[in-house]
Structure 1
């Protein structure tokens, strides 16, 4: 995976492992999910309205653009949720999707 974000500082924090769409990735303890995901992928999530992807918008929990899901179906705000060891997330809504034909 190639990331949209590039870490310039804080390399010394402990690493933890999470899963992004089934792939194990190493992230830094204390990062938000948005930082963890965009450090490893080019987009935060797939849009549920068209074939595009989303990368977050306001970065402070106000715009509703950064919702992602755990593999258990829990919705999380990526911009304000701190990563935790073993977290497994998916970037495509498990809910009913729009017909994108």
Structure 2
């Protein structure tokens, strides 16, 4: 992303080493989708890609690791300036017992 596309009032976070631009209050999932990142995690068995599906925190397909904390539902967590978001690989714990991060 060039600095000319970065506008004041927006937040910036890192996803897999790339800077992603988000609007204030926008979810991580919405910002990733707008930046054309469609795979947020992979499954444990066959490494199948998963991403933005239900958009309301029910399906757990959008799980990501945020600032080292796994099992955060990208559709529920607002993007924040400076956060580091990583694609989650396989089962990093039971999302139901972890609360899904929010």
Establish whether TM, by shorter chain, passes 0.5. Answer: yes
Q: Pairwise CA RMSD of aligned residues?
A: 2.6
TM-score (norm 1): 0.68
Q: For 2:56 and 2:63, locate their aligned partners in 1 and report how far apart those are by CA, in whole Å.
A: 12
- CA offset at residue 18 of structure 1? 0.1
Which secondary structure does the structure 2 equivalent of 1:92 belong to?
strand
TM-score (norm 2): 0.68
Please list every run of 5 or more consecutive structure 2 residues that lacks an aligned counterpart in the other structure. 2-6, 94-102
1:53 paired residue number: 49
Moved over 6 A (4+): none
Q: 1:24 to 1:93 in 2, by over 3 A?
A: same
- CA offset at residue 74 of structure 1? 3.8
Please list every run of 5 or more consecutive structure 1 residues that lacks an aligned counterpart in the other structure. 2-11, 97-101
Question: CA deviation digits over 1:19-40, x for unaligned, max 9?
Answer: 0012122221111111011222
